[in-house]
Structure 1
Amino acid sequence: MSNPLISILTPFKNTQTYLPECLDSIIKQNYQQWELLIVDDHSSDNSYDLVRAYAEKDKRIKLFKNSGAGIIDALKLAFAKSTGHYITRMDSDDIMHTNKLSTMLNQLQIYGKQHVALGLVKYFSKDGIGNGYAKYESWLNTLTSSGLNYSEIYKECVIPSPCWMLHRSDFLACGGFTPNRYPEDYDLTFRLYKHNITCIPSTQELHYWRDYSTRASRTNDHYAENHFLELKVDYFLELNYNSSRPLTVWGAGHKGKKVAQLLKKKHIPFLWICDNPKKIGKHIYDELLFSFEHLKNLDHPQSIVTVANEASQKDIKSYFKTQQMTAMTDYFFFC
C-alpha cells in the first residue's frame, strides 16, 4: 500500500478564530492522501459555517454535527465515519508542521503494527508561554526523543493528544475512544501502555500546540486535577500494583491526600510517609503518618510518590537508587 489513507479526527467548538490556520496546515501537508473527519460540538459562533466553506472546496474535508455532547462523543462520531488505514487526531486550534503526516506515516511503515508514531511539540501563544507549559513541553519532548514515554506515565500525559498516529487495527485493539472517560487523551495513553503499543522515538518537531485562556484543557471540568489522579490510581492498581508487597504513599500535601482518599475508597491498604514534623505521628483520614525512617521496617515496598518539590524528588530518587529500586516496578512518581 504505497499511498494509504490517513484519517484525521478533529472535534471543534467555538474556535472560528483559529480554524483557518488549522485547516490550512492540513491542506498544505506534503502527504495528500488524507481525509478529515471534523465534528462540530454545538458551536455558538461561526465555526460551522467556516468549516462548511472549506468542505465545499475540498471533498476530503467531511463535516458533521455532534449527535451527543462533548469531545469524546465528537471523536467517536469522527472515527465511526472514518475509512483510513491509519488514524490520527488533530485539535482545531493547533497547527501541523508541513511534514507531520508524511513523517509519522513513514515511521509506522518502517516499524509496523504495535507501534505508535509521535513527534515533538511546541507551545505557542500570543501572550507568551508560561514556565509551567515550557517545562511540560521540554519534559514531554525529552521522553519522545528517546521513545521512553511510558517510563513517567504516572506524572502527566506522556503522549500529546494531537500528535500521534496508529494503525487502525491497533487503535481498535486498544478500544479507540470507546471508554467514556476524561481526560480522554490520558486514558488512551494508558490503554496504549496496557496493550504494549511501543512508542517510536522522534526528534522532529511536528506539531504546534496553541495555548490561550479559554482553551478546553484550562476551562473544562473534565480536565480538573482530581480526574487525572483518579485515572492514575485506577490504572496503577490495574497495571502495576503488586498486592503481595506493602504499598507506601509519600507526601501529605493536596495530591497525597487525594491519592490516600482514593486508595481508602477502594480498600487498598497503604502506609503514609511524610517529612513534615507537624504531621508525623498524627492521623489524616484515620491513617497514621510515619516518618521516612519507618521505611526500614518494610519488606520490599512499592511506593507512590506525590511530592512535587524538585529538590525533594532528587533526594527521593537517590534513596531509591541506594535501595536498588527501579522506576515503574518499585516506585511511581505521581507528580
Structure 2
Amino acid sequence: MSEPKVSVTMPCYNCESTVGEAIESILSQTFEDLELVAVDDGSADNTVEILKNYASRDSRLKLLFLEHQGVVGAANAAIEAASGTYIARMDADDKALPERIKKQADLLDSDPETGLTACRVGFGGDRDKNGGYAHYVDWINTLVDAEEISLNRFVEFPFANPSIMMRRELISQYGPFRDGDFPEDYELVLRWLEAGVKMRKVDEELLIWNDPPDRLSRNHPKYTVEAFYGIKSEYLFRWLQRRIGPYPKVGIIGSGRTSRKRYRILESMGVETAFYVDVDPRKVGMFIHGKKVLHREEIPPAGDTFLLSYVASWGARDEVARFLDDRGYVMGRDYLLVS
C-alpha cells in the first residue's frame, strides 16, 4: 500500500466512553487517503479492546500500545509512527465533522507558505456551566488569518489543539511537542511562530471540541494559568527584544494585583517598566515600585513607548484595543494584548 497523504494522530487514555465516536468521525471522512494512528497510553479501562475491534474492521487504523507516559509521549509516539505528508491531531473525546481533513489538506495544498492549519470549532459543552471555556472557544474562532493568529499568540493559545494539521517536514525542522511544566501545544505553536512558520485556519467549524469534566487541561498542573503565563512570557520576552532591543522598556496597561503578578514574570527576565496605565481614579497618580500610574488619556503618542495590555476580561480587552487603535496605535507595532 502507498503511504497515505494525511496521518491523523490520536493519543488515547481511559477513553472507552468516547473513543468510538472519535474513531468513526475520522474513518468516515470524505477524504479517504488517510491513516489514523491511535496510541493507547496504558489505559486501565476497555479502551484497548475498543481500539482493536475497530482496527480489525478498517486497515487504516494503526495501533500502538505504550506504558503510561502522558499525552506528550503518546502524541509524539503517534507522530513518529505516522507516514503521511500532513500530520493532523485528534483527541479521543472529540468529533471531526466529515469535511475536516479534506478542507485542511486542501488549504495546505493551495498555500505552500502555510505550515500549520486548523479550523474553527464548535463548543461541545454546557455554556451555562462552563461559560469561561465557551468564551475561549468563541475567541479562538475569531482568529482565522495568519496575521490575526500571530498578533494574538500572547493572549492565549489561538487554536483548539485537536483541530491542528501540519506539514511533516516542519516537525523535523522545528521539533515536535516538548514535555515540561508548560502546555505542550501552546509551546509548539509559540516556538514555530517564533521561527517564522505561517499559520492560518479554514474558516469553517469542522470539529466539535467537547468539554468533559475530566479534560486534561482542567486537571493537570501544566495547564494552569501560571503555566501558560510562564511559557508565553519566555517567548514574549524574546519577541520584545527583537522588536525593541536587548533591554526592552514598556508601558503596562493594568495596574491591579493580578496584572502585576502576571507581568512580574516578564519583568524578572529583564523588561523595564516605563509606567502603568489604569482608569481607576483610586490608582491614577500612585507610584508602583517607583513607576507612576497614568490615566489612559495621559499615555504618550504612538511610537513613544511600546505598550503591553494585561487587561484580561473579554469585553475590557477589546475595549482597550479599540481605544488604542483610535489613538493611532497599531497592534504589533505599538502595542500587544498579552492577557
- TM-score bracket, normalised by the shorter chain, equals 0.7 to 0.9
- How far apart are the structure 1 equivalents of 2:114 and 2:77? 24
Question: Which residue does 1:183 correspond to in 2?
Answer: 183
Offset at 1:225?
Answer: 0.3
2:338 matched to which residue of 1? 334
- Tell me the amino acid that sits aligned with residue 224 of structure 2: A
What's 1:305 paired with? 309
Tell me, yes or no, if the aligned pair for 1:107 and 1:200 is still in contact at 8 Å.
no
The verdict on how the C-alpha distance between 1:260 and 1:132 changes in structure 2, with shifts beyond 3 A counting, is closer
- Choose from 260, 265, 270 the match for 1:262: 265
Contact in 1 for aligned 2:180/2:222 (Cα 8 Å): no
Residue in structure 2 matched with residue 155 of structure 1 by the alignment:
155
Partner amino acid, structure 1, of 2:88: T
Superimposed CA distance per residue, residues 19-70 of structure 1 (whole angstroms, 9 cap, x where no aligned partner): 1100111111122222222222232222122212222332322222335621
Quote how far apart the aligned CAs of 1:206 are. Answer: 0.9
CA shift, 1:88, in A, is: 0.8
So what's the TM-score if we normalise by structure 2? 0.87
Instruction: Indicate the SS of the match to 1:248.
Output: strand
- For the pair 1:291 / 2:294, whether they are aligned, the reply is yes
Secondary structure in structure 1 of the residue aligned to 2:36: strand
Distance 1:142 1:319 in 2: 19
**How far is the alpha carbon of 1:171 from its aligned partner?**
2.8
For residues 223-234 of structure 1, what are the structure 2 equivalents within 5 Å? 223-234=223-234
In structure 2, list runs of 5 or more residues that go unmatched: none
Shift in Å at residue 199 of structure 1? 2.9
Q: CA deviation at 1:100?
A: 1.1
Q: C-alpha separation between the residues in 1 aligned to 2:51 and 2:312?
A: 42
TM-score by length of 1: 0.88
Q: Distance in 2 between matches of 1:156 and 1:227?
A: 12
Contact 1:119 1:202 in 2 (8 A): yes
Deviates more, 1:287-296 or 1:67-76: 287-296
Q: Is 2:8–2:87's contact at 8 Å kept on the other side of the alignment?
A: yes
Percent of residue pairs bearing the same amino acid type: 24
Q: Is the 8 A contact 2:6 2:33 kept in 1?
A: yes
CA RMSD of aligned residues (A): 2.8
Deviations 1:226-268 (A, max 9, x none): 0111122111111244236521222233541223321243232
Cα distance, 1:125 vs structure 2:
2.9
Inter-CA distance 49–271: structure 2 relative to 1 (3 Å threshold): farther
Distance 1:218 1:236 in 2: 24
Corresponding residue SS for 1:142: coil
Following superposition of structure 1 onto structure 2, how do residues 95-114 of structure 1 map, counting pairs within 5 Å?
A: 95-114=95-114
Residue 235 of structure 1 aligns to a residue in which SS? helix
Cα offset, 1:320, TM superposition? 2.3
| Residue 252 (structure 1) aligns with | 255
Identify unmatched segments of 5+ residues in structure 1: none
Separation of aligned partners in 2, 1:319 and 1:183? 32
Which stretch of the first structure deviates more once superposed, 198-207 or 313-322?
A: 313-322
Size of the alignment, in residue pairs? 333
Offset of residue 185 of structure 1: 1.5
Equivalent position amino acid for 1:88 in 2: A
Moved over 6 A (4+): 126-129
Query: Once the two structures are superposed, what CA deviation does each residue of 1:187-231 show, in whole Å capped at 9, x if it has no partner?
Result: 122123223222345222211111121111111111100011112
Aligned to 1:316: 320
Determine the structure 1 residue equivalent to 2:70.
70
Of 197-206 and 154-163, the range deviating more from structure 2: 197-206
Change (3 A) 1:79 1:180: farther
Equivalent runs, 1:49-128 vs 2, <5 Å: 49-67=49-67, 69-125=69-125
